[in-house]
Amino acid sequence: MDVIFLTGLVLFLFGIVCAKWALELGYSQMTQILIFILALFLGPLVLFGLYNKLIYSRKISGLPGIHFFGARKETNAVAGN
């Protein structure tokens, strides 16, 4: 495959991941689009910055790392005992 095509594909994937992480951080939709466009040019740097923000926000809120991606699992406690 062409090197330029593969580079563009990798940067596009960086943009998608960055926009998803911006969504999890609570950024507005316009900011998510701007982060996606910025990640098309500076993918690894933007991803690193968002990763640090995600880790810091998880540290502040006290959530464990196992619940980093996706919804939290509910506890298995039985109600009414």
pTM for this predicted structure: 0.66
DSSP 23-44: HHTT--HHHHHHHHHHHHHHHH
Assess contact for 18 and 46: CB atoms under 8 A: yes
Q: What is the pLDDT along the chain (81 residues), one digit of tens a residue?
A: 789 899 889 989 999 998 988 888 889 999 999 999 998 898 889 889 988 888 888 777 776 654 555 555 555 555 555
pLDDT of residue 13: 92
pLDDT of residue 68: 55
pLDDT of residue 30: 93
Question: What residue segments make up the domains of the chain, in order of their start?
Answer: 3-64
